[in-house]
């Protein structure tokens, strides 16, 4: 088993807790950032890989990413990689900024492995335009609103006069994307300078822009009134007063700053500036690490891990990384319900495939591996392969994206090798892969596959962005052969024939008697060519073909094949291959 190394898309899980007395515990010296950062440990260099997407999970290119003093930008897939970034041993803060969007961020407890991050950006969309010098009110459908007294200033502290665009966003605890949309994590500095884990009863972001697009804020010395609707599921347990917290965009954590009062089904409070504001109860915290494996000890990635405290309705979710792990902050000295969910898909009732009670914990804890016994309704497969450069050598600086209905997993490449472990439903096996060679700025096409139990071996992918179709195969441990010229894919009724020829490498033909996606043996699909020979029903072989997609004319035919076959001298060979070609008729 691998050591605990890195975290998944959520990376730091913030678990809901019951309300606490804001005056309990800690010193009365007041908040101080210099002493508070001593909780983070010494500085350390850590590696990060991540993806920035919009609210529909579409990748966003050209987002500026900053970690410590290191900066980069996301590529066409919304992916970024920053290695050797200077952070703290127990705290890292990542910011994501692009014009047209509200600034995004993520805070996490970094590890010595590749830390995996997902950030979802909210577009800047003004709900209303108000005028300086006039009292005004802006509200949205939920009843959440903000009242202004008309005094505004720019980022340099100068008074602003004119029209003010107001964008108001209400992030509810029940939002399934809360962990990707909210800034930082639910980790905070109390007014007594103590660490705290928060339970959110709703948070809002207010963005103010002037007529020239410049950022504005409330004028120093003035306040605005915010009204935040309480989720119906939390209304019965919502305390009559609750601490307010603002997110410090420079530091990367929440700070206690005022009190809100419950009026009907809303919290109302006064704030002195705008970024993100949060109505939160809080408690002491510990760090928890969980690893999810199957009955064979294989780590399961992209499994949802939800923790529920004190009878709350909504779990706070994290998703395991490629090593089956998720780690983060939880309330100390409380019993929690831990559920494991079948990734993003519903296979079993309520999508829960494992549940247990854990805690209470009084100190940082690494749980023993949680073993999930999969049922006939939920299967697991390890997707593995190798990513090659256009010259055929292993990619040493790159990644591979696995995409299922717009939900992405990212695996860094280690000397070409990549691997994912995925849960899936037996009637929903399709996924796509795209590989990226960052060194040479090249990538593969998005290629369709289907999961196979227990291992989906996709063979070798080649990152050549100028290539739009190919056939590749590997025999034993010989170099992979890529056929990219003279490819012809034709059909007649339910029969197909795919041929590729290269004057140096020879040719290969794959032909069969079906165009229906599925898994077949050589009684249906055969291979012939040099130096493969003929692999068909009349030869000794275990080769299986996974016809993943058979598109219309002008669209792709995607197929993988793997197994063993007997050569002309009765020697046994292994073969793996990928077919990604455009249908000609």
3-state secondary structure 410-440: EEECECCEEEEEEEEECCECEEEEEEEECCC
Nearest to 160 by CA among 209, 221, 101, 99: 209
Instruction: Give the rounded percent of residues in the chain with a pLDDT score beyond 90.
Output: 50
Task: Read off the tokens for 330.
Answer: 């939880």
Residue 348 makes CB contacts below 8 A (sequence gap 6+) with 342, 375, 377, 378
For residue 226, what pLDDT is reported? 97
Q: pLDDT band at residue 297, thresholds of 50, 70 and 90? A: confident
User: For strand 241-248 and strand 195-209, is the pairing parallel, antiparallel, or unpaired?
Assistant: unpaired
CA 155, 156, 159, 160 torsion: positive or negative?
Answer: negative
Q: Provide the CA 507 distance to its chain's centre, in angstroms.
A: 41
**What is the rounded distance in angstroms from the CA atom of residue 169 to the CA atom of residue 141?**
11
pLDDT at 277 over 50: yes
Residue 409 makes CB contacts below 8 A (sequence gap 6+) with 301, 302, 322, 401, 402, 420, 422
**Does residue 206 have a cis bond before it (omega within 30 degrees)?**
no
**What is the rounded distance in angstroms from the CA atom of residue 281 to the CA atom of residue 236?**
14
Name the CATH superfamily, with its identifier, for domain 379-582.
Immunoglobulins (2.60.40.10)
Task: Indicate where the chain has its CATH 2.60.40.10 domain(s).
Answer: 379-582
Nearest to 361 by CA among 307, 305, 304: 307
Average pLDDT (306-313) is 71
Task: Read off the tokens for 230.
Answer: 């309480």
**What is the rounded distance in angstroms from the CA atom of residue 141 to the CA atom of residue 229?**
10
Task: Read off the tokens for 180.
Answer: 């990707």
Which of 252-266, 292-306, 525-539 is least confident? 292-306
**DSSP per-residue codes, 456-500:** EEEEEEE--TT---EEEEEETTSPPEEE-SS-EEEEETTEEEEEE
- Edge-to-edge strands, sheet with 379-388: 417-424, 379-388, 455-462
For residue 347, what pLDDT is reported? 56
Helix ranges restricted to H, 37-149: none
For residue 408, what pLDDT is reported? 79
Place of tokens 């962005």: 465
Task: Read off the tokens for 406.
Answer: 């717009």
Nearest to 109 by CA among 193, 34, 5: 5
**Does residue 304 have a cis bond before it (omega within 30 degrees)?**
no
pTM higher than 0.85: no
Residue 27 C-beta-side C-alpha neighbours within 13 Å: 7
Tell me if 561 sits within 8 A of 527, measured CB to CB: yes
Place of tokens 């034709």: 490
For residue 6, what pLDDT is reported? 29
**What is the rounded distance in angstroms from the CA atom of residue 155 to the CA atom of residue 379?**
53
Total residues belonging to the chain: 585
508 Rama class: left (phi>0) / alpha (psi -120 to 50) / beta: beta
Backbone angles phi, psi at 344, to 5 degrees: -100, 5
Instruction: Report the CATH fold assignment for 128-283.
Output: Chondroitinase Ac; Chain A, domain 3 (2.60.220)
Round the average pLDDT of the chain to a whole number and report it.
85
Q: pLDDT band at residue 2, thresholds of 50, 70 and 90? A: very low
Tell me if 497 sits within 8 A of 509, measured CB to CB: yes
pLDDT at 7 over 50: no
What single-letter DSSP state applies at residue 14? B
**What is the rounded distance in angstroms from the CA atom of residue 191 to the CA atom of residue 28?**
8
Average pLDDT (538-561) is 92
For residue 322, what pLDDT is reported? 66
């Amino acid at each position: 088993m691998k050591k605990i190394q890195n975290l998944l898309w959520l990376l730091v899980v913030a678990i809901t807790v019951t309300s606490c007395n804001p005056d309990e515990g800690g010193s009365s010296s007041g908040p101080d950032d210099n002493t508070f950062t001593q909780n983070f440990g010494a500085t350390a260099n850590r590696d990060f890989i991540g993806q920035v997407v919009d609210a529909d999970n579409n990748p966003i290119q050209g987002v500026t990413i900053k970690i410590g003093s290191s900066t980069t930008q996301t590529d066409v897939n919304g992916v970024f990689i920053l290695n050797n970034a200077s952070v703290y041993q127990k705290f890292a803060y990542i910011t994501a900024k692009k014009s047209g969007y509200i600034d995004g961020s993520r805070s996490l407890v970094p590890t010595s492995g590749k830390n995996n991050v997902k950030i979802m950006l909210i577009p800047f969309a003004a709900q209303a335009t108000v005028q300086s010098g006039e009292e005004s009110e802006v509200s949205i459908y939920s009843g959440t609103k903000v009242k202004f007294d008309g005094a505004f200033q720019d980022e340099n502290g100068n008074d602003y006069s004119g029209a003010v665009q107001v964008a108001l966003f209400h992030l509810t605890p029940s939002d399934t994307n809360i962990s990707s949309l909210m800034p930082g994590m639910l980790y905070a500095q109390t007014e007594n300078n103590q660490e705290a884990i928060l339970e959110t009863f709703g948070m809002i972001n207010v963005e103010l822009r002037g007529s020239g697009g410049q950022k504005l804020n409330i004028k120093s010395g003035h306040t605005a009134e915010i009204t935040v609707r309480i989720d119906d599921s939390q209304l019965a347990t919502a305390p009559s007063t609750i601490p307010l917290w603002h997110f410090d965009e420079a530091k990367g954590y929440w700070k206690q700053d005022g009190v809100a009062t419950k009026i009907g089904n809303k919290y109302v409070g006064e704030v002195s500036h705008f970024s993100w504001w949060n109505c939160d109860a809080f408690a002491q915290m510990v760090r928890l690490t969980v690893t999810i494996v199957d009955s064979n000890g294989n780590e399961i990635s992209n499994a949802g891990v939800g923790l529920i405290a004190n009878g709350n309705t909504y779990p706070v979710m994290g998703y395991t990384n490629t090593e089956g792990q998720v780690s983060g902050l939880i309330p100390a000295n409380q019993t929690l319900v831990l559920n494991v969910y079948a990734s993003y898909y519903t296979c079993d009732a309520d999508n829960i495939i494992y549940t247990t009670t854990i805690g209470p914990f009084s100190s940082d804890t690494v749980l023993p591996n949680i073993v999930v016994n999969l049922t006939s309704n939920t299967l697991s497969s390890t997707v593995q392969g190798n990513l090659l450069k256009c010259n055929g050598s292993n990619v040493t600086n790159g990644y591979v994206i696995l995409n299922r209905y717009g939900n992405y997993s990212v695996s860094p490449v280690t000397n070409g090798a990549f691997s994912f472990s995925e849960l899936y439903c037996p009637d929903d096996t399709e996924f796509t892969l795209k590989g990226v060679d960052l060194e040479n700025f090249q990538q593969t096409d998005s290629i369709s596959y289907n999961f196979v139990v227990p291992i989906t071996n996709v063979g070798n992918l080649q990152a050549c962005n100028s290539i739009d179709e190919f056939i590749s195969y590997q025999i034993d441990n010989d170099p992979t052969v890529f056929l990219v010229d003279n490819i012809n894919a034709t059909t007649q009724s339910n029969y197909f024939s795919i041929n590729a020829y290269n004057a140096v490498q020879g040719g290969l033909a794959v032909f069969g008697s079906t165009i229906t996606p599925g898994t077949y043996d050589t009684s249906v699909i055969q291979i012939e060519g040099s130096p493969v020979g003929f692999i068909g029903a009349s030869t000794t072989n275990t080769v299986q073909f996974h016809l993943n997609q058979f598109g219309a004319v002008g669209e792709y035919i995607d197929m993988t094949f793997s197994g063993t076959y007997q050569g002309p001298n009765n020697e046994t060979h292994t073969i793996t291959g990928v077919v990604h070609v455009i249908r000609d008729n």
